[in-house]
Amino acid sequence: MDAALAAEIQALSIQLGAEVRRLRGERGMTQAALASAAGLDPNYIGMVERAERRITLYNAWRIAGGLGISLADLTGALPVRGAAGRA
């Protein structure tokens, strides 16, 4: 994997993790509560929030469900690839 792709993936992981943390906080949920609702390990939720773990589409869907939202709502704040600088 080249450095540019790795940086792009890391940036998306950071943004998605921040969004999971924000949405979880808005709902007053702990990492353990979200993990239980999503059927995942609390440590995994923490690693996603800190961008220490790449998330699969399936687990993103599970986390969204645990938050009571759609996958589209979870990822809607992420930038569109290649859209930077377009008018």
Query: pTM (2 decimals)?
Result: 0.87
Q: Where are the domains of the chain?
A: 3-73
Which CA distances in Å does 61 have to 3, 23, 55, 79?
Answer: 28, 14, 10, 18
Tell me the pLDDT tens digit for each residue of 23-56.
999 999 999 999 999 999 999 999 999 999 999 9
Structure tokens at 56: 């699969």
- For domain 3-73, give the fold: 434 Repressor (Amino-terminal Domain) (1.10.260)
Question: Is residue 87 predicted with pLDDT exceeding 60?
Answer: no
Rounded-to-5 percentages of helix, strand, coil across the chain? 65, 0, 35
